[in-house]
Amino acid sequence: MQMQAHQSFSVAVAGASGYAGGEVLRLLANHPNAQIKTVTANANAGDSLSNHQPHLVSLNHLVLEPTEPAKLAQHEVIFVALPHGASGKLTVELEQLAPHTLIIDLGADHRLVNPDDWAVFYGGEAAEPWTYGLPELVTGWGEAPPKQRSKLPGATRIAVPGCNATAVTLALGPGIAAGYLDPSDLVAVLACGPSGAGKALKPHLLASEILGSTSPYAVGGSHRHIPEIIQSLNQAAPAKAAKPALSFTPTLVPMARGILATVTAKPGPKFDQATLRQPWEVAYQQEPFIQLLPQGTWPTTAQTLGSNSAALQLTFDQAADRVVMVCALDNLVKGTAGAGVQAMNLALGLPEATGLTVNGVLP
């Protein structure tokens, strides 16, 4: 399905009462082509959308309907914002009812190519892998590095990346592709806002638990985004490069949204300290949503709040013999809903930045 710049299309959002669903609605409300027709939920069906998303004033006329595949299939674009496992069950029915409709899954179900990875990190039967929705993912190297973007035009099934996976992959991808980083020794420590865990009530995410505190979770190689990151870095790595090995430790911090990923790696065979920034400059110079900051300026989560931008900086720690990369992004925008809208634009043949902003909100 290809759209002209002036054409409109109807959109349905399943899981519209949650954080990811609400964020995609916020972005689509300002999209000149999108007409939001249907919003659905499970337990919250029958409620006014405004009861759950009071900030979406322009959409307060909508009522949450039951998540029925036949109703969703009546639209040209469907966003699925459900927990892992639930989205896979829904999309099986949607694929049968709407074989040519653009379906964008904001969850994890269709990200992983290897079903064994799904079994280990999520459990149960794996769903079919879909086109991965990270346009800026480097998939090789050269003067104009190939990227995942080329696979998105015309796609009808898109899996939006995980928020943590996006931050780590954007930090590492160019360096691994160019041979500047050794993929066999990667370490990532992330500070994450709790909105990445969704809106369901969980005691460890209560304000009384996280305010004034920070705590690690999914420690020791158990985080579900690890196989997704490895999968992406395998695409970036040269043919004879070592297999990626990643130590990944996320921590919850008392901010509603945002990710600050600090990633380090040993130098690779083509590393050149004098031209340290070159791979990232080459890879991202034409990318509107990735900001490689001036030397000496370090990313903050605050500068990306509400925007589809990722802010990136790097340096070389000579004493430790490691390259240090820091990436900040808003987990609900560039990490989820913004990536979905960006991929949607590419799939429909619209300008990639339609309905999206690089500007954040401060203070």
> Which residue's structure tokens are 């690779």?
268
CATH 3.30.360.10 is held by the domain 165-331: yes
Got the DSSP string for 10-25? EEEEETTTSHHHHHHH
Give the pLDDT band of residue 1 (cuts 50, 70, 90): low
pTM score of the predicted model: 0.96
- Report the relative pairing of strands 322-329 and 259-267 from DSSP bridges: antiparallel
Mean pLDDT of 184-189: 98
Does residue 205 or residue 338 have the better pLDDT?
Answer: 338
Neighbours of 3 (CB within 10 A): 19
- Is residue 127 within 8 Å of residue 110, measured between CB atoms? yes
- Active site amino acids: 163
| Domain 9-161+334-348 identical in fold to domain 165-331 | no
For the stretch 130-160, pLDDT in tens is: 999 999 999 999 999 999 999 999 999 999 9
pLDDT at 210: 83
CATH architecture for the domain at 9-161+334-348: 3-Layer(aba) Sandwich (3.40)
Question: Do 249 and 189 touch, CB atoms closer than 8 A?
Answer: yes
Report, as an integer, the average pLDDT of 46-66.
97
Locate the domains of the chain by residue range.
Answer: 9-161+334-348, 165-331
- Token representation of residue 72: 């969703």
CA distance linking residue 81 with residue 108, whole number of Å:
10
* CA pair distance 185, 263, nearest whole angstrom: 11
State CA 10 to chain mean position distance.
Answer: 23
